[in-house]
Amino acid sequence: MVRQSLYVFEAVAPLEGKLFWSIEGKGNTDAMGRFLLTLLEANPGRRMVLFVDGAGWHRAKRLPVPQRLRLELLPPCTPECNPVEQLWEELREKWTGNRLFETLDAVGQTLKNALGNLEWNDGNLRRLMCFGWIKEAWLLYI
């Protein structure tokens, strides 16, 4: 049996309840670079800060990080600081948990349906990901 994987790249704006995502066949620097460039194309003129965990492709020196984007590394072993972890919990609980998929394509389609559903539900995204400390930190900069 061959092990197969899909990688979901996500960016969220918790205060706005916005989600941007893509599904890739590999989790590597090239895939991350494509994701970042697509994210910026979808948000012309916006400056962004993206908090990332310690995955190698988040920290690679050859990762193209355009000027209007800043990557900030989250402290190790702190999933509670990462709003996207709440999204993963939601996906596992309501869409993929305790299911047997016949093919990797079926997994991909389920993820696309789930993420598409969440993408258009800004109230649910805010409820899941806009932690109190995010709101408080944002008020300091307004």
Within a domain: 23:
yes
Separation CA 53–CA 32 (nearest Å)? 13
**Domain CATH for 60:** 3.30.420
Containing structural domain, residue 104:
7-141
Other C-beta atoms closer than 10 Å to the C-beta of 105 total: 11
Within a domain: 2:
no
- At 84, the pLDDT band (50, 70, 90 cuts) reads confident
Q: What is the mean pLDDT of the chain?
A: 87
- At 104, the pLDDT band (50, 70, 90 cuts) reads very high
Within a domain: 1:
no
pLDDT at residue 101 tops 60: yes
Residue 140: what pLDDT?
A: 59
* Both structure tokens of 21: 């995502």
Q: Specify the residue for token string 């918790």.
A: 14
Q: Which tens digit of pLDDT belongs to each residue from 38-54?
A: 999 999 999 998 888 88
> Count of domains in the chain?
1
Residue 56: what pLDDT?
A: 86
Within a domain: 72:
yes
